Amino acid sequence: MGGHRTKVAIVLVLCLFSLPVFLEPPAPNMAGSTIFDDPALSEIERSSSDDTIGKNLLVRIQHEDSGPLTSNFSRVMTLMDIERGALGGNDSTYSFDSPKVFIHRLETPFSSWESAFQDSNTSMEDASSWGDVLQPENEDGWCGQDATDSERSALQATLLLLPKQSNLGVACPQYAGASASQPPQSNELLWLVWLDSEEKPVDWSELISWCDKLTANSDYVFEPAGINVLFEEASLIATEDLSFIVPAGFALLVVFLCIFLRGVKIASITLGSVGLVLIAETGLLVALGQTLSVIDAIAIPIIMGVAVDGAFWYTSSTKSREDVRKMMFLAMCTTVAAVSLAMISEIKLQRNLALVIVLGIVMDYIMTRYVLEDVYMDARKQFELNPDRVQTTLNVGWVWPTLLLILAGVAASAPVGVEILDIHQFMPEEHPSLDELEELREKYVIASSTIAYIVIDINSQDTASLQALSLFYTNLAQHPSIIAYDTGLTQHRMVLGLPSSAPSEGDDIDRYIEDNPPSLLMSDSRLSDGSGTTGVIVLAVVDGEDADAAFSFSEDVDGLLDVHGLQGEVGGDLVTGIKAAKSFEDTRILQIALAGAMIFVVAWAVTGSRQQGLQIAVGSIAVGISVDGLASFLGGRGVSTAPAVLLGMGFAADYLSHASEPHPVTRSDFSARWKAAITSAALFVLISFSEFPPAKDTGQLLTSAIFVSVVLATALSFSLVSESTKIDRPVHNLAPPPQEE
């Protein structure tokens, strides 16, 4: 009776955990905050009054005939009308119609140009041609030493939002071919768009719909572009994959369970329990405030594959109920020990995915052990299990060490190096959007560059550090990695956030920054805790094509902060991505070794046998290093492949736990092991057909890992069989014990 109450209680608790999924369905996303930790951007998110920093999207604009754009005044005026319609929302032809997302800020070259012309007492809106605006002629243009703040902002917008080889015209007449009597000339340009919504994260796919609307209602082509848009496309690709893989995975389980378990009823119960565990786990994570990314969804088919393991051992093996219990507990503990190591990783992507997998494995074990065990043991009676003990007169003890050497050879021959954690790890290799990104990078400074965010601690009362801060800013601007524009007379490096002049005597940080005009990328560089300024933000535009240079830049900035006695953090997508890759490269072998050590300790503690624990740990490490090596052969070892390596070690520990048990091995036991492996592998093969690279790589690596693991476990079993024929160990009673009440 007590057992029945336990089953009901577990099912009710899982149902309770499931409620948040139905009340507030989660929407997995690909926001950078769900992939890696960026201390600088996190501090900006918490303390900056400028909530647009680092959240801009790009829109690329051309006329439908691909002809002149900025030199054609009527076309410029039309685009300004579209801009006003988007911001005002009164013109339904151009308005942003999303019910949940709105345009928080829109920056275009034209708005900056208009402000610059107004400083010369002219106006684009009041003119009928470029000639009306450009007279009287501004000989120095907007890049002269006496340029106003608005003119410098207009120059910045021209350099960033027009193609690199554009004729700058009045923006900088000192450039060859440019003239103060001509406007900047280009056949295309970019807009910067910032979206916002009440629900976070913001659904950036709404920008795609708006651009389609503008294209349909005008003579211009509006295309979303840039890294942030590609992350949104990657999220859509992953979601489409998931919508196919999950139902297809359940269908595969139906087929294999019905064939191997010989009954629709037992297969249905198993699938129902798997579904309940998945929904309950998702609901629990939502209730705990865990933000789920589309990468976490990769865990769903993995958990499905692990969940059926117990069904085969309870129903298809000749092991007693107690033996299966012990074996399943050992397998769960060693698998969790391996995967949980990623939960202390410096990389958020690895921590989150490991948490989802570990929680799913534990919940699967509880469901199998305490709810389904009796169902499976009853089903065993219907099977004609073969209790024939496997015996061999051959000396097969050499197979196990030989396989270990082969796996070590795979690891030793693998190429070295780790892929950078960037958009290429999340988009299919041949996807046309990557070609468009490369074209964009070739044309535009803002697309070929990346922004490094430097957060420096300084408060309003700390006037002593103000001079050091100014010197830091001056020295930083000389770094060769920072993009610069050279007029022939002056050179300006793209460093934003502080005035270029030194602070005056008696200035505090607030008064000093007030002299710095807002820039295209940041309106306020101060950080605040509500009671006063706590820091400043410095933006450096660096070359985004050279990851090693970006990494060196971040190290140089750290050194420069130390030289000037300042405390701060350096962040940004590329900088953080390369740091994550470097960290993983430095620690990946140590991570595998530590996972092996944890498996050894857990296996020894559960079994009480040091030899058994050592066998499981050594085999797991061999699988781990071989899967890590295989990752570099298949497409590149990277941050997103690391969880697959640890999970592969978990599978190895699982199967080796079965094989190392001091129990006579029967043909039914071999059958149970291979049926479980084939069923799980079928799901992983399915994942390997994904378009989403992290899912595809995980599927390929886990397919390899599970087959290597089952072969290694079989070899270990044969080694034990070979020893048992010499020692003549007693055969245990293979009949299942009486049913427990």
User: Is 47 inside a domain boundary?
Assistant: no
Instruction: Decide if 435 is inside a domain.
Output: no
545 and 600 housed in the same domain: no
How far apart are alpha carbons 597 and 613 in whole angstroms?
10
Q: Which amino acid is it at 230?
A: L
Q: What is the DSSP string of 87-145?
A: HH---TTT----SSEEEEEEE-HHHHHHHHHHHTT--STT-SSHHHHS-S--TTTTSST
pLDDT value of position 396: 63
Nearest Cα residue to 81 out of 125, 15, 128: 125
Task: Report yes or no on 476 lying in a domain.
Answer: yes
For 416, the token pair is 């070295």
| pLDDT score of 16 more than 90 | yes
Residue 607's CB is within 10 A of a number of other CB atoms, namely 20
Question: Which range (11-25, 399-413, 589-603, 630-644) has the least confidence?
Answer: 630-644
What is the rounded distance in angstroms from the CA atom of residue 359 to the CA atom of residue 726? 43
461 three-class SS: coil
Question: What are the phi and psi torsion angles at 729 (to 5°)?
Answer: -70, 150
3-state helix, strand, coil in the chain (%, to 5): 60, 10, 30
Q: Is residue 740 part of a domain?
A: no
Query: Exposed (0-12), middle (13-18) or buried (19+): which is 550, by Cβ within 10 Å?
Result: buried
The pTM assigned to this predicted structure is 0.78
- 370 and 280 fall within a common domain: yes
Q: Is the peptide bond before 503 cis (omega within 30 degrees of 0)?
A: no
Give yes or no: residues 311 and 403 share one domain: yes
Q: With CA atoms as reference, report the closest residue to 324 among 312, 337, 308.
A: 312
CA distances (Å), 262 to each of 96, 256, 312, 378, in order? 57, 9, 11, 13
In terms of domains, do 203 and 240 share one? no
Same-domain status, 283 and 419: yes
Phi-psi region of 386 (alpha: psi -120 to 50; beta: other; left: phi over 0): beta
d(Cα 570, Cα 455) in Å, to the nearest integer? 7
Report if residue 698 sits inside a domain: yes
Query: Which residue range forms the structural domain that includes residue 533?
Result: 459-565
For the beta carbon of residue 701, count every other beta carbon within 10 angstroms. 25
Mean pLDDT, to the nearest integer, of 292-318? 81
Q: Find the range with the poorest average confidence among 56-70, 324-338, 425-439, 504-518.
A: 504-518
Residue at 237: amino acid letter: I
Checking DSSP bridges between strand 101-107 and strand 56-63, what pairing results, if any? unpaired
Burial class (CB in 10 A: 0-12, 13-18, 19+), 733: exposed
Identify which has the larger pLDDT, 144 or 180: 180
Please tell me the predicted confidence (pLDDT) of residue 236.
83
CA dist 244 and 12 (Å) reads 29
Query: Number of C-alpha atoms within 13 angstroms, CB side, residue 394?
Result: 6
Domain boundary, last residue among 193, 225, 257: 225
What is the tally of structural domains in the chain? 3
Q: Are residues 709 and 667 in the same domain?
A: yes
> Is pLDDT at 1 greater than 50 in this prediction?
no
**Helix ranges (DSSP H) in 290-372:** 299-307, 309-316, 321-339, 348-367
What is the average pLDDT value for the chain, to the nearest integer? 82
| Residue 371 DSSP code | I
Quick one: pLDDT at residue 734?
A: 41
394 vs 608: CA distance, rounded Å? 30
Asked whether residue 432 is assigned to any structural domain, the reply reads no
Task: Report whether 496 contacts 453 (CB < 8 A).
Answer: no
Give the model's pLDDT for residue 486.
60
Asked if residue 487 has pLDDT above 70, the reply is: no
Strands 533-543 and 526-528: antiparallel
Residue that terminates a domain, selected from 178, 193, 225 = 225
pLDDT of residue 727: 42
Q: Are residues 200 and 238 in the same domain?
A: no
What would the DSSP string read from start to end of 528-543? E-SSSEEEEEEEEEEE
Question: Do both 404 and 496 map to the same domain?
Answer: no
Classify residue 8: in a domain, yes or no: yes
Please report whether residue 431 resides in a domain. no
In the block, tokens 């005008």 appear at 218
Half-sphere CA count of 369, side-chain side, radius 13 A: 17
Residues in the chain: 741
The answer on 276 and 389 residing in a single domain is yes
Is residue 395 domain-shared with residue 523, that is, in the same domain?
A: no
As separate numbers, helices (DSSP H) first and strands (DSSP E) second, the chain gives: 25, 11
Predicted confidence at residue 269, as pLDDT, reads 87
3-state secondary structure of 167: strand
In this structure, the answer to whether residues 221 and 239 fall within a common structural domain is no
Question: Is the per-residue pLDDT at 741 higher than 50?
Answer: no
With a cut of 50, say whether residue 705 has pLDDT above it.
yes
Asked if residue 382 has pLDDT above 50, the reply is yes
How far is 670 from 687, CA to CA, in rounded Å? 26
Q: Which two tokens stand for residue 735?
A: 């009949």
The residue type at 332? M
Phi, psi of 95 (to 5 degrees): -70, 155
- The answer to whether the beta carbons of residues 561 and 551 sit under 8 Å apart is no
With 60 as the cut, is the pLDDT of residue 653 above it? yes
Structure tokens at 158: 């021209």
CB 696 within 8 A of CB 628: no
Please tell me the predicted confidence (pLDDT) of residue 579: 80
How far is C-alpha 156 from the geometric centre of its chain's CA atoms?
32
- For residue 688, what are the CA distances in angstroms to 35, 50, 318, 682, 693? 21, 42, 33, 10, 9
- Residue ending a domain, among 171, 202, 225, is 225
CA 550 to chain centre: 20
**Co-location of 415 and 466 in the same domain:** no
- For the chain, how long is the longest CA-to-CA vector? 106
Paired tokens of 15: 């149902």
- Identify whether 387 is preceded by a cis peptide bond (ω within 30 of 0): no
Dihedral sign computed on CA atoms, order 614, 677, 258, 279: positive
Distance CA 510, CA 552 (A): 31
pLDDT score recorded for residue 359: 92
pLDDT(485) > 80: no
